Amino acid sequence: MRLENKVVLVTGSCTGIGKAIAKRCVAEGAKVVIHGLEQELGEKLLVEMGVENATLVIHELADEEAPRRLVEAAIGAFGKLDAVVNNAAQVGTGNIRDTDGKWFRRMLEINCVVPYLIIRAALPHLEKTGGSVINIGSVNAYSGEPNLMPYSVSKGALMTLTRNLGDTLMRENGVRVNQINPGWVLTENETKRKREHGLNEEWYADLPKVYAPAGRILWPKEIAACAAWLLADECGPISGQVFDLEQHPFIGRNPPKDSTTIPTK
């Protein structure tokens, strides 16, 4: 098991990609701090993974005490902290005409500043073992969809943070910092959004090739597989890198022949 005896904090892990990463970490031998806002879902996951393997923290990340509380939960439950996965994010639409300063600042706060503060709070523990950090970004970081402007900018800022700290901390104390930029992933929240947009229950079963060359979008467990490798010692000294996980080149893609569209995200 690649993560045996490691303790991993995964924010936003009651659902979606974070949940898949938390489950994969336990399957690989780690102890996990589950975090989120969904008490019932978190407790269900805790039972599923085993109370001997995980602990649950329900806490709003906008609270300035959140980084300290998350780190203390790991130390209190398992005596150490080897890795952090900054997965939790504020998701929402917006463009230059309807995004005010309050909404923009909220995006930047939750999606970039809070991950930084969690890394900062965890650093005294991570540097003891040459730990690892994964920031979960988005392929929207490179530009973003027209109506995802503040979200995209926040993920671009997170990407710069990853590269900066990935270089700085690796040189100082051997702590690795990397980022995964998922593409289109079939999470519970994505399924809910598509239903709200009027699509049927099986909307993801027959997608245009322009969006999904494989005929489907990514599964959370496929993101988790990459995360497990990045957290493991076998990843070696790799740091400051951004891994785009999508089924087609996101930058410099050949012009797609199929121009069929589906309702916007």
Residues labelled catalytic: 151
Edge-first strand order for the sheet with 83-86 is 54-58, 31-36, 7-10, 83-86, 132-136, 176-182, 242-245
Angle CA(88)–CA(90)–CA(91) in degrees, nearest 5?
115
SS3 46: helix
Greatest Cα pair distance in the chain:
55
Taking the CA atoms of residue 200, residue 37, residue 119 and residue 47 in that order, the dihedral angle to the nearest 10 degrees is -90
What is the number of alpha carbons within 13 Å of residue 115 lying toward its C-beta?
33
Nearest residue to 265 (alpha-carbon basis) of 115, 107, 138: 138
